[in-house]
Amino acid sequence: MKYALFLGCTIPVRSQNYEISARNVAKKLGMDLVDLEEFSCCGFPVKSTSTEAALAIAARNLAIASEKKLEICTLCNACTGVLTEANKHLTDNKELREKVNQDLKKIDKEFKPGVKIRHFDRVLYEDIGLEKINNEVSKNLKDLRVSVHYGCHYLRPKDIYDGFDDPENPKTLDKLIKATGANLIDYKDKLDCCGGAILAVQEQTALKMAKIKLDNVTANNVDALITQCPFCSIMYEDNRNKIETAFNVNFGGLPVLYYTQLLGLGLGLDKNELGFRLNKIKPTNLLEKLGVE
């Protein structure tokens, strides 16, 4: 099982704990992740200002994977969304494909249909499978209570994702969490957006969106919030102080873990192999509860 690992912009600079844990989990489960140095930004940051430029940047990355005959495995939801969407539109719409390929000609690249893109957690679900994951879990996490935030672009828009999960009632990440033995705690408005995309546009509104989510998650006395996208984690973890100050609230140091970090704990990986020292909110109590030194 070989995949081209697509890191995007944020993960290699701001979320190395995600990258470290994903690489080590992949190794443990027999996923071969290949680094392609030429992978750039996915195109998402300029989609609002020039859809054509965003499509060209996405198509350039797709062309690179296609030249190497590799499928793309992403870690960030925004990268997943933009690459999947570009792939679908450029495959289905010949006129658009010709237009974008004109742009790509200037850099000696050409988009050809046939590339596959999936989020790391979707690959875990579909290629590794719940049974194998459950069998590989050596440390039962049954003492943990966690809640999950999927992040919008893992699920939506549904017309680009071949119905692999239901955006109104998603189950894939729920099942992946349960496969580690951890208790999954449901909460109000689980599908609400983190607000990350408007943080730089209208900060107070974005922070309020994240605050409401944290209110709903912490109402149930959980040990951690599980995410799978660096933007969502930035909202719930990096912006925690700002949110607590702005709204005069206290979320009691609720840790935010990437799913790969939670799974890694279940697989018995060392805490250094899961990048925990890079978590901005230290999951000290959670690790103690599990007896992880």
Enumerate binding residues for another protein (CB under 8 A).
7, 9-10, 12-14, 16, 19-20, 23, 35, 37-38, 40-41, 45-53, 55-57, 60, 89, 96, 103, 106-107, 109, 152-153, 156-158, 167-168, 191-193, 195-198, 200-202, 205-206, 208-209, 275
Q: How many residues does the chain have?
A: 293
Query: Which one, 20 or 256, has the nearer CB to another protein?
Result: 20
Q: Write the single-letter amino acid at 40.
A: S
Distance CA 83, CA 71 (A): 12
* Minimum distance, C-beta of residue 131 to another protein, in the bound complex (Å): 30
**What DSSP element (H or E) covers 37?**
none
What string of DSSP letters covers 217-280?
HHTT--SEEEES-HHHHIIIIITHHHHHHHHT---TT--EEEHHHHHHHHTT--GGGGTGGG-S
For the chain, state the CA radius of gyration: 19
**Shortest CB 7 distance to another protein, Å:** 7
Closest to another protein by CB, 106 or 186: 106
Torsion sign across C-alpha atoms 18, 20, 25, 27 = positive
> Between 113 and 157, whose beta carbon lies closer to another protein?
157
Query: Cβ 49 to another protein, closest distance in Å?
Result: 5
φ, ψ (nearest 5 deg) of residue 292: -85, 120
Residue with smaller CB distance to another protein, 47 or 118: 47
**Minimal distance, residue 287 CB to another protein, in Å:** 19
Q: Which is nearer to another protein, 141 or 151 (CB)?
A: 151
Residue 69 CB, shortest distance to another protein, in Å, is 20
Asked if residue 57 lies in contact with residue 90, where contact means CB atoms within 8 angstroms, the answer is no
CA distance 141 to 208: 32
Q: How far is the CB of 102 from another protein (least distance, A)?
A: 10
* Residue 173 one-letter amino acid: L
157: preceding bond cis by omega (within 30 degrees) = yes
Q: How far is the CB of 261 from another protein (least distance, A)?
A: 14
Q: Which is nearer to another protein, 203 or 244 (CB)?
A: 203
| CA 210/CA 222 separation, integer angstroms | 17
CB of 179 or CB of 274, closer to another protein: 274
Q: Which two tokens stand for residue 93?
A: 């719409």
